[in-house]
Amino acid sequence: MSYIGIIITFVFINNFILTQFLGLCPFIGVSRKTDSAVGMGFAVIFVMSMASLATWAVYHWVLVPLHIEYLQTISFILIIAALVQLVEMVIMKISPPLYKALGIYLPLITTNCAVLGIALIAVRSDYNALESFVAGIAAGLGFLLAIVVMSTIRERLDREWVPKPFRGVPIAFITAGLMALAFMAFDKALLKNLLG
């Protein structure tokens, strides 16, 4: 698949949140305010692109030559945890303002299903290094798009009357469901029409 195809697939057609339900916890938890949603979105893009590159390297240069592919799950989750720590320390050292903006979201990302998800999906799809990296960025962009749209809707919902049992999380899920319904307009046929 071409790079543009990968980007369209992961941003729109297989949007991680709205069609795969990966990364739902931060999506519901951090989407109350647009500012924090944007911060979380960029932190996820950053970590996902780094993680898909790092796990590609470990899988193809360590696990495959040693024939220990079955250690995939353990090694990937440890790489991601270590990577998040490393990224946190590096950002703290070189850019305190960026750390202030992203810092609180980074620890939350370690157990974000989306990061491990993109690493596993990239391996399953036999992507090369650059394709994995692009897929990581695209999946992160899809997350950013979904969480920012969601947070603007929720900021408006705060000012509307909602039946008491639906307040908070339930209405957020129903909103996400309606968003997913809208995203169903993006399907494989779209990709075919765009790229021929």
Partner 1 sequence: MLYKEFTKGIFRENPIFIILLGLCPTLAVSTQVVNALGMGAGVIFVLIGSEIFVSLLKDFIPEKIRIPSFIVIIASFVTIVDLVMQAYAPSLSRSLGVFVQLIVVNCIILGRAEAFASKRRLGESLLDALGMGVGFTLGLLLISAIREILGSGTITLFAVGNFDGVIQIPGLSSQPARVLALAPGALLVIGFLKAFFNWLEMRREQRAAFAVAGRGSTSQLAASPDTAPAGGAS
Site string for partner 1, 112-141 (x = CB under 8 A): xxx-xx--xx--x-----------------
CB of 22 to partner 1, least distance (A): 6
Instruction: Rule CB under 8 A: say whether 64 interacts with partner 1.
Output: no
Instruction: Decide whether 119 or 137 has the Cβ nearer to partner 1.
Output: 119
Instruction: Tell the smallest beta-carbon distance from residue 97 to partner 1 (Å).
Output: 28
Question: Which range of residues in 41-49, 77-85, 140-148, 188-196 is near partner 1 by CB under 8 A?
Answer: 77-85
Q: For the CB of residue 32, give the shortest distance to partner 1 in the complex, in Å.
A: 15
Which CB atom, from 65 or from 70, has the smaller least distance to partner 1? 70
- Cβ atoms 138, 6 nearer than 8 A: yes
Instruction: Extract long-range pairs of 74-83: CB within 8 Å, 24+ residues apart.
Output: 76/116, 76/119, 76/120, 77/116, 79/51, 79/54, 79/55, 80/47, 80/51, 80/55, 80/110, 80/115, 80/116, 80/119, 81/110, 83/47, 83/50, 83/51, 83/54
CB closer to partner 1 out of 98 and 111: 111
Q: Which is nearer to partner 1, 14 or 49 (CB)?
A: 14
Closer of 98 and 180 to partner 1 (Cβ):
180
Q: What mask of x and - would describe binding to partner 1 in positions 161 to 180, judged by CB under 8 A? A: --xxxx--xxxxxx-xxx-x
Q: Which residues bind partner 1 (CB under 8 A)?
A: 18-25, 28, 70-74, 77-78, 81, 111-114, 116-117, 120-121, 124, 163-166, 169-174, 176-178, 180-181, 184
